[in-house]
Amino acid sequence: MIIVITPPAPLAGEAATCNALFEQGLLLLHLRKPGAPVATHEAFLREILPVYRSRVVIHDHFELVERFGLKGIHVNARCDALPGYLARYDHVSLSCHALEEVEATDTLPRPPAYLFLGPVFDSISKPGYAAAPFDERRLKKILEKRRQVIALGGITATNLPTCRQLGFAGGALLGHLWEKPEETLDRFARLPAPPALAIAGLDPTAGAGVSSDVKTMESCKTRGLTVCSAITFQNQHAYSGTSWITPADIIRQCETLLRAFTPTVVKIGLVENLPALREIVTYLRAALPAARVIWDPIMKASAGYTFHEQVERETLEEILEKIDLVTPNADELPLLLGDHREETIQATCRARRLAILRKGGHAGGNTSIDRLYLPDGRTYIYTVDRAPGDKHGTGCVLSSAIAAHLARGHALPEACRQAQQHVARYIRSSDTLLGRHDYLPRHAPRDLPLQYITAPRPGVPLPDQVDAACRGGIRWIQLRVKEAPLEEILPAAAAVQRVCRYHGALFIINDRVEVAAALDADGVHLGNEDMDPVEARHILGHHKIIGATCNTLHDIIARARQGVDYIGLGPFAATTTKKRLAPLLGLDGYRRLLPAARAAGVTIPIHAIGGIRLEDIGPLFRAGVSGIAVSSLVNHDDDPPGVARRVLDEIHRHL
């Protein structure tokens, strides 16, 4: 886990830099401005994009937590008000400066989110503040027992791996990043990625096994380490055999690797049998007592390998005692637990202090549903639109993505959510059974039946407006700022783009091709009076989305021949978001134009735009539209996320 602490005195452009750090993958920012008034904190937080405020932990003025939706608070472990803070706030982290203070936290009514312990090295931000003389042996024993202790004081890219080897869960950085503000982003990007270990078979296609694991981990910004458990003879279509590596040689690989690395997460995939797995996890528990262990129980691989007909219950029980998360699919659950009933899963989680992620990727329907069951009784349900086609090795990708996000510091529920989204993008990355890790597309217009177009709303900044739409489930945003000069639209568009990236939403820009090119946006939408689509394609390239507004059959056919990716057909009804309206089409216009367009060979998506209300959605889809675009319907409502969800529900009723 990497935590960044703000410099004590405000810096010019500091909030913008923090937004960029979040975009680069920063999970937690500590807002620490000793002695600064509440107004200084408020000004900083207003500049932080709304999607990132829940990653901010504040050191003063705790009343701002609720106002801005912050992560929580940070206090000194000796703070007299600590029991009250623990009762009031969901997230409380502590600073400790002695090993005794760390040990004393065991008596608290509930554990803190994590602890800072330092200074571990000579401070950079406080000259003369020397490293504390911690007894290394005692320190290691303390860190083995407590997973969430963060090294503080003098942490740099050079000594961060040392902190991990000592057993710290990560490092909190201040001086190293901020001593030269012009280098902050570059220094953050060069920090060593946290390591995660995959123990799995070698698949010659690299679509599954250790090769796939390490590619997945690297794409999730984690250092992938691998130990080979078997050599398989297979391709993406067929499996013909396995040459097994003995548990002794698997452990020997681990022993050599662990002399240089201390992974905080280990993912186990293909192993020969349960006794071999028991031997491996027993070793891991002794060698890496603080690490989390994930077991992807490959009992029947898609290429044809079958793990076991009979599961040895006693051996399995020993294994489940030693792992943290198991990721079975519906077919594997009965082999593991005896059945797949909800109450059996929950009872196993409670009894074994185990988390179970029930994968739903192989079930039917248009939606993939995963369920995470935690030992404390909580259940999380994750859904994602099922991508067309299938891929070899998606189970490996899912479990290794979870491992990577855990290693980076995500909590398990968030790691599972991120991993499910990663797999969905991976499935869309190619048209073959072998996916790509260098190209993880978000969505295409054909996948998304709802687009949200921004429009000015007094008192609501554009990033907040877009965040509200995305929280309602919309995954296609069109930024429409027609009149603004380039120097104004660029920073506004960049802020909106960050919100879209956070939510995994498409981000296109109305008209301004030069802005789309400068920001590497997903595409543009062009009106009849805007740039010619052929010229826009030449500027942006064939991988970008280009949409066009049409009002007549002639327009539709002409734009389709120019290679646009979708058409916005309208206006359906009168709208206040555009100054110059083309003739209104009404429902009869769509009933007339859509069949004519399809008869003329137009196959690209055609979306209705302009003045659409909730009650218009059903008739428009029955008329044959591929989707709709809305603005005022969401923007003018008192509950934008709520109305966005209602719009999506209505669309899915008629798709």
pLDDT at 390: 83
Reported as a single tens digit per residue, the pLDDT across 169-191 is: 889 999 999 999 999 999 999 99
Residue 654 — very low, low, confident or very high, per pLDDT cuts 50/70/90?
confident
Q: Return the structure tokens found at 11.
A: 């810096």
DSSP secondary structure, 471-523, as one string: HTT--EEEE---S--HHHHHHHHHHHHHHHHHHT-EEEEES-HHHHHHHT-SE
Predicted TM-score (pTM) of this structure: 0.74
Residue-range domain boundaries for the chain: 2-189, 195-427, 445-654
Which residues lie below 8 Å from residue 601, measured CB to CB, with a gap of 6+?
Answer: 560
pLDDT at 143: 85
pLDDT at 482 over 80: no
pLDDT at 290: 83
Q: Return the structure tokens found at 386.
A: 């099922």
Which residues sit opposite 546 in a β-bridge?
524
Phi, psi of 115 (to 5 degrees): -120, 140
Residue from 190, 191, 291, 204 nearest 242 by CA: 204
pLDDT at 581 over 70: no
Reported as a single tens digit per residue, the pLDDT across 293-314 is: 999 997 655 444 455 445 678 8
How many residues in the chain? 655
pLDDT at 289: 86
CA 456 distance to own-chain centroid: 29
Q: Position 486: which residue type?
A: L
Residue 436 — very low, low, confident or very high, per pLDDT cuts 50/70/90?
confident
- High-pLDDT (> 90) share of the chain, %: 64
Neighbours of 603 (CB within 10 A): 9
pLDDT at 305: 46
pLDDT at 642: 94
Reported as a single tens digit per residue, the pLDDT across 243-292 is: 999 999 999 999 999 998 989 899 999 999 899 999 999 999 999 988 99
pLDDT at 366 over 90: no
pLDDT at 457: 86
Residue 331 — very low, low, confident or very high, per pLDDT cuts 50/70/90?
confident
DSSP secondary structure, 342-405, as one string: HHHHHHHHHHHT-EEEEB-TTS-SSEEEEEEE-TTS-EEEEEEEPPSS--TTHHHHHHHHHHHH
The sign of the torsion formed by the CA atoms of 426, 430, 432, 435 equals negative
Residue from 160, 230, 226, 220 nearest 191 by CA: 160
Write the CA distances from 165 to 140, 217, 222, 244, 436, integer angstroms.
9, 20, 16, 31, 32
Residue 431 — very low, low, confident or very high, per pLDDT cuts 50/70/90?
confident
pLDDT at 335: 82
Question: Does the domain made of 195-427 have the CATH classification 3.40.109.10?
Answer: no
d(CA 636, CA 528): 27
Q: Position 324: which residue type?
A: D
Which residues sit opposite 223 in a β-bridge?
195
For range 206-213, the mean pLDDT: 94
d(CA 620, CA 626): 9
Neighbours of 237 (CB within 10 A): 11
Residue from 22, 14, 18, 66 nearest 40 by CA: 14
CA atoms in the 13 A half-sphere facing the CB of 319: 24
Q: Are 265 and 294 in contact (CB under 8 A)?
A: yes
Q: Return the structure tokens found at 350.
A: 């409670």
Which residues sit opposite 2 in a β-bridge?
171
Residue from 387, 369, 481 nearest 430 by CA: 387
d(CA 324, CA 268): 11
Neighbours of 523 (CB within 10 A): 23
d(CA 296, CA 395): 7
Q: At what angle do helices 394-408 and 209-219 cross, to 10 degrees?
A: 40
d(CA 572, CA 298): 52
Q: Return the structure tokens found at 441.
A: 């597309």
For range 104-125, the mean pLDDT: 90
pLDDT at 623: 95
Residue from 184, 183, 185 nearest 23 by CA: 185
What single DSSP character describes residue 183? G
- High-pLDDT (> 70) share of the chain, %: 95
Residue 421 — very low, low, confident or very high, per pLDDT cuts 50/70/90?
confident
- Placement of tokens 């390490």 in the chain: 214
- Placement of tokens 């937690």 in the chain: 28
Q: Position 275: which residue type?
A: P
pLDDT at 304: 46
CATH of domain 2-189: 3.20.20.70
Whether the domain at 2-189 and the domain at 445-654 fall into the same CATH topology: yes
pLDDT at 579 over 60: no
Question: Does the domain made of 445-654 have the CATH classification 3.20.20.70?
Answer: yes
d(CA 425, CA 475): 13
For range 384-404, the mean pLDDT: 88
What single DSSP character describes residue 230? E
